[in-house]
Structure 1
Amino acid sequence: MTLKMDLSTIILLPVHMLVWLYSALSFLPWYFLTGAQGKKALAERIKARSTNGQAEGPYRSVDHFDSLATMDFPGLDTLDKLFRHAVQCFGKSHCLGTRTILSEENETQPSGKVFKKMILGDYKWMSYQELDVEVNLFGSGLAALGQQPKNAIAIFCETRAEWMITAQSCFRHNFPLVTFYATLGEDAVAFGLNECGATHLVTSVELLETKLKTVLPQIPNLRHIIYVDNKGISTAGYPETIHIHSMQSVKELGAKPENLNREIVRPTPSDLAVIMYTSGSTGQPKGVIIVHSNLIAGMTGQCERIPGLGTKDTYIAYLPLAHVLEMTAEISCVTYGCKIGYSSPQTLSDQSTKIKKGSKGDCSVLKPTLMAAVPEIMDRINKNVMSKVQEMDCVQRTLFKLAYNYKLEQIKKGYDAPLCNLLFKKVKALLGGNVRMMLSGGAPLSSVTQRFMNICFCCPVGQGYGLTETCGASTITEVSDYSTGRVGAPLICCELKLRDWAEGGYTKLDKPHPRGEILIGGPNVTMGYFRSDYNNSNDFFVDENGQRWFCTGDVGEIHPDGCLQIVDRKKDLVKLQAGEYVSLGKVESALKNCSFIDNICAYANSEQNYIISFVVPNQKKLTALANQKGITGTWEEICNHPVMEIEVLREIKEVATSIKLQRFEIPIKVHLSPEPWTPETGLVTDAFKLKRKELKNHYLHDIERMYGRK
């Protein structure tokens, strides 16, 4: 230990001197040559102001203060027009790319589980003109199969090029597209298909065989199923009333002159574009009604926050396309001439679960410049990298921490540390090495993880806030904004205001900043829910000026520069027996910084005076601790060992105390779950938001145990 300390001191002394000399010599040239002063001024400027001078708002972006933006390109007021314009502008340029599968093999893990591993080739690209042809053929083929304008057609499929071909075909022919997450349960999909009455469905062979086949008899309106894969399928065991087609055969049908020359009924801005079924954190999925003008307005606001978006950009697509964030991101990329390379969470990086060791993941091959991610994924990257740092030798670890801390201090001041970036080259290469901006959405991103991405991947992270009901668009932090914990100012397409929530203790009079429930208004606010009984909850309303508003249920505060910070959620607030209010989301967000925790769900019963928690532990960290304690056994046995629960609770209390959680906000008991929570388990949504009702039912026995009933 003494030797390590001496060695560390010996290393640090000359390095500190070198850093000091570098800073002294390079700061002034760097400051003036990179325009640092102007960037800092942009970061500190007022970004949004109240339109009426009231603390509660409405607040609008200062960049479009007099009116709300409705479209980026004059006259291009439908998704069909946007795509046709893109084809004219970028005809022969690469548009959609997919990697070829060179080989597949099964690999048995030490645990006995069998994982499918793949070796993938280069990306094969489809140009804008080629995509236009595919869209024409498929749309004409669907019409030949009886699909009518303004009648819904459903898609239940993984994120892939065929999803976007289907969407653009529907937009062109005015077929409203009904979307379902690929991880949604079969009963929920059957519910949605029956509710919307779709007669045509686009899906994949895997989803058709594993999820849909058993519930098809429950969907009487369905007549045609189109699978997107280039392989055959046996129709045995399917209802006789349903016709099954390959996508290729539908395109061939569409290529016949009598079908290809059929008159197309083009959409108008007020026509229905998408019914997007949200997986939801409670109850049955709800279909959000989105018209063309909603999506055009939302994308206008989003694209304004991505400087230089254009033909030099490459976007990696791997999040669910049935999520409004991913769908609008991809349509925006097509509009601006970017390349889109398709991926999946299982093939994203060299270390991904389906990539054979020694071969390259999608990021390494594609080298994207733009990327969207949910906080859960970025949290995992953060913990994995920091875990590897702990395994470095003393010299490497010391240099990494020194560079990390030095750059952290520079970023907090609004500056950069170019020399340090060389040390993060290997980390940056995990995502291809060229990412210039990341967009985070779906859930709050912790300040620790945001700073990690800023430092190690050398790019800004635009944290956004929005909902399906607002086309995913409400706020996004500006590239120049180096603050953390906030989600930026309103986009130029919308405005927001705060409504007092007395029960939760949030009002416009709060100090130092006004707080309240967030209400979003503008042309990006959707038309409501597909079933009218969902619309009786007053989630949507129209004001005296005819503007639509959505009541989010989230609680925020407005900072003096007009930026929003999410501080609570009405549904996450629980009143304990002694009268204290606990924000479960706040507790979870804080405790995700624990090194032993990969995911956490806090739970509280109003009849009790303390909260409890379920934790998915970090397997590497907890196993190492178990070895130190002399505890052996399977992963499940380690998680169920009472000593491990005590150790995780100990760290929870340390972290909670350090970040000054109140005593009643700190979980008193914990259950460790050996199985991770994924959308496939039904315990989290596709955006990795907790499904509290399902988690409560899943851990009911443990809840009763921790509250002393068993």
Structure 2
Amino acid sequence: MKLKEDINPVLLQVFRSVVWVYSFITFLPWYLLSGPSEGVERARRVKAVSVSGHPGGPYRAVNSLAHLASTLHPDCDTLDKVFEFAAQRFPQRDCLGTRELLSEEDEGQPNGKVFKKVILGEYLWMSYEEVYQAALWLGSGLAGLGQRPQHNIAIFCETRAEWLISAQACFMYNFPLVTLYSTLGGPAIVHGLNETEVTHIITSKDLLQSRLQDILLELPRLRHIIVVDTKQTTWEGFPRGISVHNMATVQELGAKPENLARLRRQPRPSDIAVIMYTSGSTGVPKGVMISHSNIIAGITGMAERIPGLCEEDTYIGYLPLAHVLELSAELVCVSHGCRIGYSSPQTLADQSTKIKKGSQGDTSVLQPTLMAAVPEIMDRIYKNVMLKVEEMSSVQKTMFVLAYNYKMEQIAKGNSTPLCDGLVFRKVRSLLGGRTRVLLSGGAPLSAATQRFMNICFCCPVGQGYGLTETCGAGTISEMWDYSTGRVGAPLVCSEITLRSWEEGGYHSTDKPNPRGEILIGGPNVTMGYYKNEARNREDFFVDQNGQRWFCTGDIGEFHSDGCLKIIDRKKDLVKLQAGEYVSLGKVEAVLKNCPLIDNICAYANSDQSYVIGFVVPNQRQLLALAEQKRIRGSWEQLCNSSVMETEVLEVITDAAIAGKLERFEIPRKIRLSAEPWTPETGLVTDAFKLKRKELKRHYQDDIERMYGGK
């Protein structure tokens, strides 16, 4: 997507002349040293083929045609062995880092609200040897508190170093780790802990006091709570029979010679490593049973798609570790000796909500080379930068737009643009620390506009991936030199993918020019199924005649001629309108989220109605500007509740839908503006910011009836 060139012709000619002279001087040495041919050739080559010859597959990566990869390092077939291998190979290298908290203060806002702001220092690091020792002592201490091998233990904690140390302790001692999102509501937490019958839980002081303490009476089996972040020695107000311990105290217990001497029962590859509860976008969360061999196969596939991955890399961890994307990414990093610096969405950048103005966010201090993100976060960065571009002077804006469009043309030819990168995009690139070389996007589809923006302005490839909890997050990742947009790449070396025709939706594996159908993923990374849910296991998983497990994703994809997959629909998101037209709600949302006026949107349709409606979280700055332009007065809440404002926003949305080539019946006819953003805390989106359609429908039920002419 080119940016609009509303530019002074003289300035345009000057810029083009400078670029031409620069390109002429630098082209020959650059071409001789690196040249575009290799990158362009790699991007265009066939990356996966159908091993059966059938257009629907199964498709395998061309470098895994003989067999699917399942092992990262020789003789490392369980996660404890993988980490032990890393600790022996990189004992003194930095492993896990946490920023020092220097000060904390309350900052009043114009609307009367008070925000807590922090000033953080440098990262304090634990070496691989220290992390290994800490995990060993913790596992030994948990065993001393009565935790037994192959009996479930839960972690309910924010993303932090102690989370991964706890996970490694459980892997070492063969304690299946039950993971729960820190934003889950009380009933979902109770369901997960009671279903898995845990007696021990690892948590933080904040979550213990704000979420767990109120539901302890509903957890009859719970006996021990281990708190990761406090030196407190006495705990009061807890039900009889429940003991609360500090993590440091448990490690001291585990470090005693008599406890360390206890025979450790190491896991087998087929043993459960993690029972990962999904974020519950469709009701009660399901626990996915993931074996050691499943995770190792998954991270083997992911690591193969990251060129040059080594101990020189730095990864920034801030997404929920209870999500398969973050856990897999961090396990990939520790298996290769990388260092992981911890952060949070509230402290990530200099402009983040908890960072005191004038102090540095985590990316500025850490300067990561590797980063994973969900599209929601990338969309936010994209919109914020483009808003700042709009505020630039005429000359600055002209230079940015020209450089952007010039670089986009050069990327398509396989050329690099060091002049533009250094002069124009250096400031944007510094938002993520300035050293990022690989960005991995997962969790939901990434819009073409946002992907292209990240490629250009952050001067690094964006590998868009596709996977699910049920496949250890592994399925596909686009290759780093493939700058095409809207696709998720070829199957990883650990998995194969086939497309199954879906008659009702009109998708067939024999479609021309590209086969289409429901995506089925097979391979050693496909998990053991849902915990205590045989009915869903029979519905979603199956084993073929060769003994290989498959998962039926419910997503609709198409394979391109080079073996790359594109996600085009989802069975559950497809609604048939009264007149018989099928509407893909996900497609409508993906197109409209590119509209600067929209921060988030949920499209909705009833099968007994003839049109689509939508719930919209507007961008505050854009909406206030539109209100001023239309001379509509009122507070933020009044504007969002104004029917006049709804009409004005709907006009903008309709124009965006037409520009995005949506069909007439796909364009929302009525909308409801939301004054409050949708966050995991509101219960309307998951921790990966996926829409919870059931909850959104319940939340906006009165508005649905109003927009469809009911009450």
- Does the pair score TM above 0.5? yes
> Quick one: distance in 2 between partners of 1:32 and 1:644?
58
User: How far has the Cα of 1:444 moved from its partner?
Assistant: 0.2
Aligned to 1:142: 142
Aligned to 2:318: 318
> Quick one: distance in 1 between partners of 2:581 and 2:6?
50
Aligned to 2:270: 270
Q: Do structure 1's residue 687 and structure 2's residue 694 form an aligned pair?
A: no
Aligned to 2:548: 547
Aligned to 1:706: 707
> Quick one: distance in 1 between partners of 2:502 and 2:119?
54
- AA matched with 1:281: S
> What per-residue deviation string (whole Å, max 9, x for no partner) do you get for residues 293-343 of structure 1?
000100000000001111110000000000111111111111100010000
Aligned to 2:670: 669
> Quick one: distance in 2 between partners of 1:693 and 1:86?
43
User: How far has the Cα of 1:534 moved from its partner?
Assistant: 4.3
> Quick one: distance in 2 between partners of 1:676 and 1:515?
35
Aligned to 1:199: 199
User: How far has the Cα of 1:32 moved from its partner?
Assistant: 3.1
Aligned to 1:31: 31
- AA matched with 1:64: S
> Quick one: distance in 2 between partners of 1:262 and 1:91?
24
Aligned to 2:349: 349
- AA matched with 1:310: C
Aligned to 2:242: 242
Contact 1:205-1:233 within 8 A present in 2 as well? no
Aligned to 1:571: 572
> What per-residue deviation string (whole Å, max 9, x for no partner) do you get for residues 539-576 of structure 1?
00000000000000000000000000000000000010
- AA matched with 1:405: N
Equivalent positions of 1:271-350 (< 5 A) are 271-350=271-350
> Quick one: distance in 2 between partners of 1:115 and 1:694?
28
> Quick one: distance in 1 between partners of 2:632 and 2:120?
40
> Quick one: distance in 1 between partners of 2:610 and 2:24?
56
Aligned to 1:416: 416
SS of alignment partner, residue 22 of structure 1: helix
User: How far has the Cα of 1:410 moved from its partner?
Assistant: 1.6
Aligned to 1:93: 93
User: How far has the Cα of 1:441 moved from its partner?
Assistant: 0.2
Contact 1:414-1:482 within 8 A present in 2 as well? no
- AA matched with 2:353: T
Aligned to 1:478: 479
Aligned to 2:438: 437
> Quick one: distance in 1 between partners of 2:210 and 2:231?
16
Contact 1:427-1:457 within 8 A present in 2 as well? yes
- Larger deviation: 517-526 or 251-260? 251-260
Q: Taking structure 1 as reference, are residues 485 and 6 closer, same or farther at Cα in structure 2, changes over 3 Å only?
A: closer
- AA matched with 1:56: G
> Quick one: distance in 2 between partners of 1:308 and 1:386?
32
Aligned to 1:624: 625
- AA matched with 2:281: S
Aligned to 1:76: 76
- Larger deviation: 413-422 or 20-29? 20-29
- AA matched with 2:433: G
Kindly tell me the number of residue pairs found equivalent between the two proteins.
706
SS of alignment partner, residue 403 of structure 2: helix
Pairwise CA RMSD of aligned residues?
1.2
Aligned to 1:182: 182
> Quick one: distance in 1 between partners of 2:599 and 2:662?
20
SS of alignment partner, residue 183 of structure 2: coil
> Quick one: distance in 1 between partners of 2:511 and 2:413?
28
User: How far has the Cα of 1:28 moved from its partner?
Assistant: 3.7
Equivalent positions of 1:33-182 (< 5 A) are 33-182=33-182
User: How far has the Cα of 1:31 moved from its partner?
Assistant: 2.8
User: How far has the Cα of 1:642 moved from its partner?
Assistant: 2.2
> What per-residue deviation string (whole Å, max 9, x for no partner) do you get for residues 630-652 of structure 1?
22322111112223212221111
Contact 1:521-1:547 within 8 A present in 2 as well? yes
> Quick one: distance in 1 between partners of 2:6 and 2:211?
61
> Quick one: distance in 2 between partners of 1:8 and 1:241?
76
> Quick one: distance in 2 between partners of 1:508 and 1:144?
56
Equivalent positions of 1:283-682 (< 5 A) are 283-422=283-422, 423-682=424-683
- AA matched with 1:99: R
> Quick one: distance in 2 between partners of 1:248 and 1:234?
14
User: How far has the Cα of 1:14 moved from its partner?
Assistant: 1.0
> What per-residue deviation string (whole Å, max 9, x for no partner) do you get for residues 41-98 of structure 1?
1110000011011101000000111100010211110000001111110001100000
SS of alignment partner, residue 312 of structure 1: coil
Contact 1:182-1:207 within 8 A present in 2 as well? yes
Aligned to 2:13: 13
- AA matched with 2:572: K
SS of alignment partner, residue 383 of structure 1: helix
User: How far has the Cα of 1:418 moved from its partner?
Assistant: 1.7
> Quick one: distance in 1 between partners of 2:39 and 2:6?
41
Unaligned 5+ segments in structure 1 are none
Contact 1:522-1:548 within 8 A present in 2 as well? yes
> Quick one: distance in 2 between partners of 1:585 and 1:169?
40
Equivalent positions of 1:203-218 (< 5 A) are 203-218=203-218
Contact 1:43-1:481 within 8 A present in 2 as well? yes
User: How far has the Cα of 1:6 moved from its partner?
Assistant: 11
- Larger deviation: 639-648 or 309-318? 639-648
SS of alignment partner, residue 410 of structure 1: helix
> Quick one: distance in 2 between partners of 1:126 and 1:6?
52
> Quick one: distance in 2 between partners of 1:658 and 1:283?
35
Q: Do structure 1's residue 226 and structure 2's residue 223 form an aligned pair?
A: no
> What per-residue deviation string (whole Å, max 9, x for no partner) do you get for residues 411-442 of structure 1?
23333322111210000000000000000000
- AA matched with 1:232: Q
Contact 2:467-2:474 within 8 A present in 1 as well? yes
Contact 2:36-2:413 within 8 A present in 1 as well? no
- AA matched with 1:366: L
SS of alignment partner, residue 538 of structure 1: helix
Unaligned 5+ segments in structure 2 are none
- Larger deviation: 515-524 or 241-250? 241-250
Structure 1 length normalisation: TM-score? 0.98
> Quick one: distance in 2 between partners of 1:221 and 1:338?
39
SS of alignment partner, residue 530 of structure 2: coil
User: How far has the Cα of 1:20 moved from its partner?
Assistant: 2.5
> Quick one: distance in 1 between partners of 2:681 and 2:131?
32
SS of alignment partner, residue 505 of structure 1: coil
User: How far has the Cα of 1:657 moved from its partner?
Assistant: 1.0
SS of alignment partner, residue 529 of structure 2: coil
SS of alignment partner, residue 213 of structure 1: helix
- AA matched with 2:202: V
Contact 2:35-2:415 within 8 A present in 1 as well? no
Contact 2:7-2:398 within 8 A present in 1 as well? no
- AA matched with 1:572: D
- AA matched with 2:110: P
User: How far has the Cα of 1:36 moved from its partner?
Assistant: 1.5
- Larger deviation: 622-631 or 37-46? 622-631
> Quick one: distance in 2 between partners of 1:603 and 1:633?
28
> Quick one: distance in 2 between partners of 1:588 and 1:490?
26
SS of alignment partner, residue 57 of structure 1: coil
> Quick one: distance in 1 between partners of 2:666 and 2:613?
10
> What per-residue deviation string (whole Å, max 9, x for no partner) do you get for residues 383-418 of structure 1?
000000000010000100000111112223333322
